């Protein structure tokens, strides 16, 4: 096949890959790369500059020069078809079985995840695009090794909203002018190219969730990508809709500005609590006690700094006519263990009840068996209304000091918490390196965001010389390595199965230089 000039595909071409990697689709990727990749890299450099300023004693605050945006009277575009009622959204990776199960789950929306829940292995990147296209065509089927056959229901399916990779990730198998492309642009462009028209014919549209942004300038970049992409494909401006995850500390101070940048394409904000917690740790990782969190599993959504963040998110969205979408309770139900199941359902009910009461218009679940409980809770609050955007939460007034008040978080730093972080981190990386980016560990959903909390918390405790509240031991490299060995010895199978993950975990959790994202070195270990 003749590729567009300057484009190379260096990943293997498995069965049907030519249906996705067509010359016009690759030309579209190349056009976006040439127009926008330099800006992407400049924005990543701006992130690094902010980290340096914070390490030197700076802080986060609402931006003085964008006050006119926060004070201004503007609204985002009205909700697009398929995105009006979002009371239950299921998330998950895009392998064929999960795709069918998610679309059939009864959720209103499926977040098709190419980010936190996905290892961006070449087979997942292109295989995911094939599954998405087949799903939109309603031809997707799957036969499990045990012979079970999966097909899409005839009636209503969940609206597909694709989450491309964050701006920090590259795609090493598609090169343009000899350079790696952006993972975000590849995921976005291939889905838009192959599925936008089909989605419009079905009465929906090309919809996206945008992850891990750290400023409104990053949102402006996405908006410019959307304008250019719509023009290239002859789609009316405003066809694309994007829901932005507010999941970095810096973005919490720029919610209005992010919605404003994307306003003709904006579909709402989501409270991405796990990456947010990771970002809180990461942003002030060298600043000692004021930003030390207790054990990961002790930090709940009622911690004052988390509450300030979700309250501000609902208020900001509703003032601008946008949906506010809740986050992920990590408890995973079990079809085999009634006790585990009961606990998960109760915890998820409690979480969704708080969100619905706070004004969220819908929320996320990680598993099909959680769809009914989320729906029931939101039905009780919404009734026949598709959302509660008219609940403007004028009562909410969140200050920068409240967003930054990490110190008031109740909980202890314990050896059990450290053990858990080490064990979960290594088990997760074992799974990631094998190509599975979401996994249940100790009955909790673990993905790239939750694993980041584990490893960054170990890094933070170690580099701030934390003494554990229970044993009094100071966290140091020797202690982390000992716990790693003890925890690996408890796992079934050979500890050698986890050797690569153990080494990678120590690299990102212990080394002096803090690696920005664990997926960066992990991706380099992928073929």
Please give the positions annotated as active site.
Answer: 163, 447
Angle at 401 between CA 396 and CA 402, to 5 degrees: 45
From the list ligand ACO, Mg ion, ligand O=CC(=O)O, none, partner contacted by residue 102 (C-beta under 5 to 8 A by kind): ligand ACO
From the list ligand O=CC(=O)O, Mg ion, ligand ACO, none, partner contacted by residue 332 (C-beta under 5 to 8 A by kind): ligand ACO
Tell me how far, at minimum, the Cβ of 447 lies from ligand O=CC(=O)O, in Å.
8
Nearer to ligand O=CC(=O)O, 246 or 508 (CB): 246
Q: Is 447 in the site for ligand ACO (CB under 6 A)?
A: yes
Could you write out the DSSP letters of every residue in 297-318? GG--TTSHHHHHHHHHHHHHHH
With residue 377 as reference, give the H or E element that holds it: helix 371-382
Q: Is 351 in the site for ligand O=CC(=O)O (CB under 6 A)?
A: no
Span from 95-103, 371-379, 497-505, 518-526 in contact with ligand ACO (CB under 6 A): 95-103
Give the separation between CA 218 and CA 208, rounded to whole angstroms: 15
Tell me how far, at minimum, the Cβ of 274 lies from Mg ion, in Å.
6
Q: Is 113 in the site for ligand ACO (CB under 6 A)?
A: yes
Q: What is the DSSP letter of 339?
A: H
Nearer to Mg ion, 279 or 409 (CB): 279
**Which residue's beta carbon is nearest to the bound Mg ion?**
275
Q: Is 438 in the site for ligand ACO (CB under 6 A)?
A: yes
Structure tokens at 191: 């889905």
Could you write out the DSSP letters of every residue in 21-52? S-HHHHHHHHHHHHHHHHHHHHHHHHHHHHHH
Q: Is 440 in the site for ligand ACO (CB under 6 A)?
A: yes
Binding to ligand O=CC(=O)O (CB under 6 A) within 258-277 occurs at 272-275
Q: Nearest 5°: phi and psi at 241?
A: -125, 140
Q: Is 360 in the site for ligand O=CC(=O)O (CB under 6 A)?
A: no
Nearest to 444 by CA among 296, 330, 312: 330
From the list Mg ion, ligand O=CC(=O)O, ligand ACO, none, partner contacted by residue 483 (C-beta under 5 to 8 A by kind): none
CB 172 within 8 A of CB 187: no
Q: Is 92 in the site for ligand ACO (CB under 6 A)?
A: yes
- Which stretches of 115-199 are assigned E, i.e. beta strand? 141-143, 149-151, 159-163, 170-176, 179-182
Burial 97-118 (b: 16+ CB within 10 A, else e): bbbbbbbbbebbbbbbbbbbbb
Give the separation between CA 48 and CA 52, rounded to whole angstroms: 6
Angle at 191 between CA 186 and CA 192, to 5 degrees: 100
Q: Is 247 in the site for ligand O=CC(=O)O (CB under 6 A)?
A: yes
Give the separation between CA 421 and CA 509, rounded to whole angstroms: 10
Give the separation between CA 411 and CA 296, rounded to whole angstroms: 9
Nearer to ligand ACO, 91 or 119 (CB): 91
Nearest to 114 by CA among 57, 186, 51: 186
Positions touching Mg ion (CB under 5 A) are 116, 247, 272, 275, 449
Among 65, 68, 149, 335, binds ligand ACO (CB under 6 A): 335
Tell me how far, at minimum, the Cβ of 137 lies from ligand O=CC(=O)O, in Å.
28
Binding to ligand O=CC(=O)O (CB under 6 A) within 111-150 occurs at 116
Q: Is 328 in the site for ligand O=CC(=O)O (CB under 6 A)?
A: yes
Nearer to ligand ACO, 263 or 352 (CB): 352
Binding to ligand ACO (CB under 6 A) within 271-300 occurs at 274
Q: Is 451 in the site for ligand ACO (CB under 6 A)?
A: no
Nearer to Mg ion, 140 or 444 (CB): 444
Give the separation between CA 82 and CA 86, rounded to whole angstroms: 8
CB 275 within 8 A of CB 168: no
Nearer to ligand ACO, 100 or 255 (CB): 100
CB 521 within 8 A of CB 504: yes
CB 331 within 8 A of CB 443: yes
Tell me how far, at minimum, the Cβ of 272 lies from ligand O=CC(=O)O, in Å.
3
Among 4, 106, 368, 386, binds ligand ACO (CB under 6 A): 368
Q: Is 449 in the site for ligand ACO (CB under 6 A)?
A: yes
Structure tokens at 285: 């990782």
Q: Is 195 in the site for ligand ACO (CB under 6 A)?
A: no
Residues making contact with ligand ACO (CB under 6 A): 90-92, 97-98, 101-102, 113, 116-117, 274, 328, 332, 335, 366-368, 438-440, 445, 447, 449
Residues making contact with ligand O=CC(=O)O (CB under 6 A): 116, 245, 247, 272-275, 327-328, 449
């Amino acid at each position: 096949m003749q590729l567009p000039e300057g484009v190379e595909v260096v990943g293997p071409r498995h069965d049907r890959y030519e249906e996705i990697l067509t010359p016009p689709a690759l030309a579209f990727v190349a056009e976006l790369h040439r127009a926008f990749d330099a800006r992407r890299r400049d924005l990543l450099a701006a992130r690094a500059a902010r980290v340096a300023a914070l390490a030197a004693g700076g802080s986060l605050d609402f931006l003085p020069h964008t006050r006119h945006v926060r004070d201004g009277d503007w609204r985002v575009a009205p909700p697009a078809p398929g995105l009006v009622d979002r009371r239950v959204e299921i998330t998950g990776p895009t392998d064929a079985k999960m795709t069918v199960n998610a679309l059939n789950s009864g959720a209103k929306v499926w977040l098709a995840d190419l980010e936190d829940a996905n290892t961006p292995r070449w087979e997942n990147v292109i295989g995911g695009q094939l599954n998405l296209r087949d799903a939109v065509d309603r031809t997707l089927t799957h036969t499990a090794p045990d012979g079970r056959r999966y097909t899409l229901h005839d009636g209503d399916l969940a609206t597909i909203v694709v989450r491309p990779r964050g701006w920090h990730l590259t795609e090493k198998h598609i090169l343009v002018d000899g350079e790696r492309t952006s993972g975000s642009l590849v995921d976005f462009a291939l889905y838009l190219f192959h599925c936008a028209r089909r989605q419009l014919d079905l009465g929906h549209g090309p919809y996206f969730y945008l992850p891990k942004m750290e400023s409104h300038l990053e949102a402006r970049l996405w908006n410019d990508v959307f304008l250019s992409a719509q023009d290239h494909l002859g789609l009316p401006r405003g066809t694309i809709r994007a829901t932005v995850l507010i999941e970095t500390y810096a973005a919490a101070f720029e919610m209005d500005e992010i919605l404003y940048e994307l306003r003709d394409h904006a579909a709402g904000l989501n409270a991405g609590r796990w990456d947010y917690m990771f970002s809180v740790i990461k942003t002030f990782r060298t600043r000692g006690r004021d930003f030390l969190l207790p054990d990961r599993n002790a930090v709940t959504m009622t911690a004052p700094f988390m509450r300030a963040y979700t309250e501000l998110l609902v208020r900001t969205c509703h003032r601008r006519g946008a949906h506010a979408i809740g986050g992920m309770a990590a408890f995973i139900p079990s079809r085999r263990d009634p006790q585990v199941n009961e606990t998960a359902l109760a915890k998820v009910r409690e979480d969704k009840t708080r969100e619905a009461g706070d004004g969220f218009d819908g929320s996320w679940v990680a598993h099909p068996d959680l769809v009914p409980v989320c729906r029931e809770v939101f039905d009780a609050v919404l009734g026949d209304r598709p959302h509660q955007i008219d609940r403007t939460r004028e009562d909410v007034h969140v200050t920068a000091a409240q967003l930054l008040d990490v110190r008031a978080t109740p909980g202890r730093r314990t050896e059990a918490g450290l053990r858990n972080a080490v064990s979960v981190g290594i088990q997760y990386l074992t799974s990631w390196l094998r190509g599975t980016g979401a996994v249940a560990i100790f009955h909790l959903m673990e993905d790239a965001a939750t694993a980041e909390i584990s490893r960054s918390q170990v890094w933070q405790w170690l580099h701030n010389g934390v003494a554990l509240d229970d044993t009094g031991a100071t966290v140091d490299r020797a202690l982390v390595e000992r716990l790693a060995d003890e925890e690996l010895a408890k796992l079934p199978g050979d500890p050698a199965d986890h050797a690569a993950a153990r080494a990678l975990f120590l690299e990102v959790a212990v080394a002096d230089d803090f690696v920005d994202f664990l997926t960066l070195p992990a991706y380099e270990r992928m073929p």
